[in-house]
Structure 1
Amino acid sequence: MATIRKRRKKDGSFSYIAQIRIARDGHQHAESKAFPRKAMAEEWAKRRELELKSPGGMLSAKWRGVTLGDAIERYIHEFAQDAGRSKRATIQQLLRFPIARVQITELTSEQIIGHAVIRRDSGIKPSTINQDITWLGIILKTAAAAWKMPVELNEFESAKLLLRSKGLVSRPGSRDRRPTAEEIKQIRAYFRRSQRIRPSAIIPMEDIMDFAISSSRRQEEITRLTWEDLDHQAMTCWVRDAKHPRQKWGNHKRFKLSHEAMGIIQRQPRAQGEERIFPYNGKSIGTRWRAATAACGIEDLRFHDLRHEATSRLFEAGYEIVEVQQFTLHESWDVLKRYTHLNPQDLILRDF
């Protein structure tokens, strides 16, 4: 029910305060607004009462004033604590743009498209803009499902459809970077020099590089392998919480080890009370790798490219698809083939 109160201001003039109080479905809502004329206050009060009594009106009022930026920060706090550094950075950078200041319940397709245009005009590639739009969708859907915010998901879907049709967003192209023999030689020499300078304080990066190439394991997976999960006789090991598109934790898988990979494991020192085979920090490995490539003048070579190299070498050695999967643990051939970059000159012809 609305009430109108007349109030004298300091300059002697009057203002009219419209107050609304509504109780519905066990929820109470109150709001007020000042007007210079009584008729304006009455008109606003009637309109707001109708809005609040309409389906979803009370819910919209509850989240009035909450911005997309507020939702982003809440998502980071509640759902992205264990996210990797790059993912958190991608989410957090959305806070720097005007779209973060828009009320989340009033976010429109026009504003989402406008954000993509701003990014494009600043020289950002469609694949990078696609990351922004993907995270916006995840945050909006989380807001609707987890926090019951009345978000207009249709507005987001409409914007995404247009952005794709106009080429403002696109999926990143498959990466086919493989280290050359000369690049591996240079990096190996760099690691050996570093090891001689500080033999007790440096991660055995040469062994870790060779293990990545011979096992196809990811950077973080290498640091999670344990002695207990190693089966010397079967030449296998378990990788805990293996990467999965939908299952972050508990996805434990057993993979086959090559003779070279097993040899590298067997020469690792086993410290008292240490369960891990490679007891190092994955981020530190990444830092050391970037330092090595920079020092050697090698451009655009990531540690993950060693997984590409490992997978390609397995195919070049003659292993079949299902056999390669026992080493790499790729979920499907569609995913696996992205890491397979065979050289035509190395293909051995067979008689039909």
Structure 2
Amino acid sequence: MQIRIARTGQADYSESKTFPKKAMAAEWAKRRELELSAPGGILAAKWKGVTLHDAIERYLHEFADGAGRSKRATIEQLQRFPIVRVKITELSSEQIIDHAQVRRRSGVKPSTTAQDITWLGIILKTAVAAWRMPVDLNEFESAKLLLRSKGLISRPGSRDRRPTLEEIKQVRAYFQRSQKIRPSAIIPMEDIMDFAIASARRQEEITRLTWDDLDEVAMTCWVRDAKHPRQKMGNHKRFKLTHEAMVIIQRQPRKQDEPRIFPYSGKSTGTRWRAATADLTQQKWTLV
């Protein structure tokens, strides 16, 4: 038995199902026509069976090309949790709250769980706006409101101090030991650490600085695509260099056909830094 719903200006929608008796087929057709004629009925049928995992995959394919490495990793990490197996049109506030509780029991901070909820909201709203999926956003907003009121999600705490001189000394000693063990390691982690402290720039920003953007007379430099909560690209800013930062820049070798001052991977410098802090944490040094 097949039913077909024709709508002006839109593609026809059809369903078919086999029954052993004609009466059963007629009853099914009548019931389905009533269900599909209800507001949102065809949309619900069209997206029946689509899971949150499917929506995340589509979002990554269509909208995440410009997403940074850390943001993409956060979205992909969400795919490892049971919540993604839920049909997106049936996602409830209870299931969202349960996901947050699972995250809390695993030991993550409320600010980390908040990242999950933020991206979940972005994907659900994209599903509604871009793909016309019949997602009940009220369920998401209700869950988010309760999670915030109960402290299960929150903004990340601000760093309230700089590393102490003793802590910096210990990190520097680690990098010096590593350089002796692996003389071929080319990343000057001491210089990058000192420049980060002197300039207050992020590791990814430091590895994007170029010689052409440096004004040695004015002691300024442009940082391209500086981090911004909304403007992902084109947020270029000129910043003032301290004398210490300028000295560090001036001792960097200029390489042919290499425009960057620190021509290294931000990911690699981050890996080296985390290795240093992990090593010192094991020695009962507390770093922030």
**TM-score, with structure 1 as normaliser:** 0.74
Whole-Å Cα distance in 2 between the matches of residues 136 and 149 of structure 1?
15
1:195–1:204 contact (8 Å) kept in structure 2:
no
* Equivalent-residue separation in structure 2 for 1:255 and 1:279 (angstroms): 20
Q: In the superposition, relative to structure 1, how do residues 243 and 47 fare at CA in structure 2: closer, same or farther (>3 Å)?
A: same
Once the two structures are TM-superposed, the CA of residue 27 in structure 1 deviates from its matched residue by: 1.0
1:280-332 Cα shifts (integer Å, max 9, x gaps) = 0001101111222233436563xxx5xxxxxxxxxxxxxxxxxxxxxxxxxxx
- Superposition deviation, residue 79 in structure 1: 2.5
Which of 33, 37, 40 is the equivalent residue of 1:49? 33
The residue type equivalent to 1:183 in the other structure is: E
> Relative to structure 1, is the Cα distance of residues 77 and 43 closer, same or farther in structure 2, using a 3 angstrom cutoff?
same
| SS at structure 2 position matched to 1:29 | strand
1:115 aligns with 2:99: yes
- Which runs of structure 2 are paired with 1:247-258 in the superposition (5 Å)? 247-258=231-242
- Unaligned stretches of 5+ in structure 2? none
1:274 maps to amino acid: E
1:254 aligned counterpart, secondary structure: strand
2:247 aligns with: 263
Tell me the residue number matched to 1:279.
263
Aligned in 2, Cα 1:174/1:90: closer, same or farther, shift over 3 Å? same
In structure 1, which of residues 153, 159, 167 is the aligned counterpart of residue 143 of structure 2?
A: 159
Q: 2:6 aligns with which of 20, 23, 29?
A: 23
- 1:236 shift after superposition: 0.3
Residue identity opposite 1:23 in structure 2: A
Query: Is 1:181 the equivalent of 2:162?
Result: no
Distance 1:194 1:294, change over 3 A: same
Q: Do residues 202 (structure 1) and 159 (structure 2) align?
A: no
SS in 1 for 2:12: strand
For residues 106 and 248 of structure 2, the distance between their equivalents in structure 1, rounded to whole angstroms, comes to 47
1:289 correspondence with 2:269: no
Distance in 2 between the 1:199 and 1:50 partners? 75
Q: Distance in 1 between matches of 2:274 and 2:105?
A: 30
Query: Match of 2:89?
Result: 105
| 270-279 or 197-206, which deviates more | 197-206
Q: Is the 8 A contact 2:167 2:285 kept in 1?
A: no
Matched residue count? 285
The structure-2 alpha-carbon separation of the partners of 1:240 and 1:122, relative to structure 1 and needing over 3 Å to count, comes to closer
| Per-residue CA distance 1:179-202 (angstroms, 9 max, x = gap) | 111111122222233334544532
Q: What is the CA deviation profile of residues 188-225 of structure 1, one whole-angstrom value per residue up to 9, with x for unaligned ones?
A: 22223333454453211111111111111100000000
| TM-score normalised over the length of structure 2 | 0.89
Higher Cα Rg: structure 1 or 2?
Answer: 1
Sequence identity (%): 79
Give the drift of 1:151.
1.7
More deviation in 135-144 or 182-191?
Answer: 182-191
Matched residue SS, 1:96:
coil
Cα deviation digits, residues 83-121 of structure 1 (max 9, x gap)? 344433332232233321222122222322232233344
Q: Distance in 1 between matches of 2:108 and 2:198?
A: 36
The 10-residue stretch of structure 1 (195-204 or 147-156) with the greater mean CA deviation from structure 2: 195-204
Following TM superposition, by how much is the alpha carbon of 1:154 offset from its aligned partner in structure 2, in angstroms?
A: 1.6
User: Per the alignment, in what secondary structure is the counterpart of residue 155 of structure 2?
Assistant: coil
Residue in structure 2 matching 1:234, options 200, 206, 218: 218
Q: Where in structure 2 are the equivalents of 1:138-149 lying within 5 Å?
A: 138-149=122-133
Establish whether residue 213 from structure 1 lines up as the match of residue 201 from structure 2. no
Residue 167 of structure 1, CA deviation: 3.0
Closer, same or farther in 2 for the Cα pair 1:56/1:98, shift >3 Å?
A: same
TM-aligned CA deviation for residue 166 of structure 1? 3.0
Cα distance change, pair 41–120 in 1 and its aligned pair in 2 (3 A): farther
Distance 1:246 1:223 in 2: 22
